[in-house]
Structure 1
Amino acid sequence: MSSGTRIEPVAAALFDTAIGLCAIAWHGDTVVRFQLPEASEEETLARITRPLAGMPVAEGEPGQAVTTAIAGIRAHLAGHLDALRWIDVDPRGAPEFHRAVYTVTREIDPGRTMSYGDIAVRIGAPGSAQAVGQALGRNPVPLIIPCHRVLAADHALHGFSAPGGVGTKARLLELERTPGFGEPMLF
């Protein structure tokens, strides 16, 4: 890298939502990390401000694009469903396979789901459902890249790396009025 190249700093902020204190990190107008609520404000702040691609992340004031993204996330989590595809994201440093998984996952609408295997087929890598799950486990912007909408082939809720695990996944699916989640069962 030449000495004249300027690397845009990464900033982060905490914000309240209907499900608790979330956090977002960005550079310019692009979201690079999103954090669902941790057990405490300190834990949420520590997770969102950990270094990114070797660069420090510091608390900051979001510009208009990120402020608008925060408003969209708040509205979505309050039940005004939005696919959030309009939010510009940059999963920095993600391998090409992960980016392919994220692209397909981002196409899943609220209230809908896909299986890990379905995503593997869509990216041209049938038989790689486990690798899809690993990629989603490293998703830097959950909710915006809706990894909670990806289920096992049997529609079971297996491993969810966000805080709260599968309970959080189920809560997000219920919030999005996904059939089979949050509805009373007949049997």
Structure 2
Amino acid sequence: METTTFPTALGVFGLGWTETGLARVLLPDDDEAALRERLGRGGAEAGDPPIWVETLMGRIEDYADGIAVDFSGVPLDLSGLPEFHRRAYQLLLGYGWGQVTTYGEMARALGDVGLSRAVGQAMGANPMPLVIPCHRVLASNGKAGGFSAPGGAATKQKMLALEGVTIGAPPGQLNFGF
């Protein structure tokens, strides 16, 4: 895997890609050295971004500036991930700017409301947050729930606020930002 970092209005992001597609996104961390160390795990090395990665970097910069961005066309390398995680990520890719869902709604869409915890585990293991928008998955009460990126739930809330979503809205109003 090849990697790069780049600055945005939210901080420095890290990206990793393979010949197949995007394999890793690291959200900004207050400790840039730690971000670079995490990005290099597993033998990843700094590389020159191909055009599609440069385009993605521009879209992430736009996102950080509060501009509505669609990441649905980004090629993804999901190899080596559990089948359930791939299914959950594929479902989540259908949620665009400012749209949210819950762990339970995703579980039902994946075949069984009892899979809510499994959905949460898949979101926590998401190797490409933002592009696979796990920040758009909320707890059933409309609250943020967990978020494994630096800054935790506060980062999730900040990302959703960029998209005009108010956390804690009544469940029927989540997609409308009331």
> What is the TM-score when the length of structure 1 is the normalising length?
0.86
Residue 68 of structure 1 aligns to a residue whose secondary structure is: helix
Written as runs of structure 1 = structure 2, the 5 A alignment for 1:159-178 is 159-178=146-165
| Residue number in structure 2 paired with 1:135 | 122
Could you say what secondary structure the match of 2:15 adopts?
strand
SS of the counterpart of 1:161? coil
Aligned to 2:143: 156
Q: Which runs of 4+ in 1 moved over 2 A?
A: none
Q: Report if aligned partners of 2:144, 2:167 keep a CA contact under 8 Å in 1.
A: no
Greater C-alpha Rg: 1
Instruction: Give the secondary structure class of the aligned counterpart of 1:112.
Output: coil
Deviation at 1:105? 1.1
Q: 1:19 aligns with which of 10, 33, 41?
A: 10
CA distance in 1, matches of 2:71, 2:20: 15
Partner of 1:117: 104
Deviation at 1:29, TM superposition (A): 6.1
Counterpart residue type for residue 173 of structure 1: L
Q: Give the drift of 1:179.
A: 4.0
2:52 counterpart of 1:31: no
User: Is residue 18–residue 77 contact of structure 2 (8 Å, CA) maintained in 1?
Assistant: no
Cα distance in structure 2, aligned partners of 1:166 and 1:179: 13
Q: Is there any run of 5+ residues in structure 2 with no aligned partner, and where? A: 169-178
> Do the aligned residues in 2 keep the contact of 1:15 with 1:23 (CA within 8 Å)?
yes
Aligned partner of 1:40 in structure 2 is 31
Judging by fraction of residues, say which structure has more helix.
Answer: 2
**1:89 Cα offset (Å):** 1.1
Distance 1:34 1:50 in 2: 13
Match of 2:171 in 1: none
What do residues 134-169 of structure 1 show as CA deviations (whole Å, max 9, x unaligned)?
A: 011000000000000000110111211011000000
CA contact (8 A) 1:18 1:77 kept: yes
- Is 81-90 or 12-21 further displaced after alignment? 81-90
Q: Once the two structures are aligned, what percentage of the paired residues are identical?
A: 36
Q: Secondary structure at the match of 1:108?
A: coil
Aligned residues: 168
Kept in 1, the 8 Å contact 2:16–2:23? The answer is yes
CA RMSD, Structure 1 to Structure 2 (Å): 1.3
Q: Normalising to structure 2: TM-score of the pair? A: 0.90
1-structure distance, mates of 2:47, 2:68 = 27
Q: Say whether residues 1:77 and 2:68 are aligned partners.
A: no
Q: For 1:26, give the aligned amino acid.
A: W
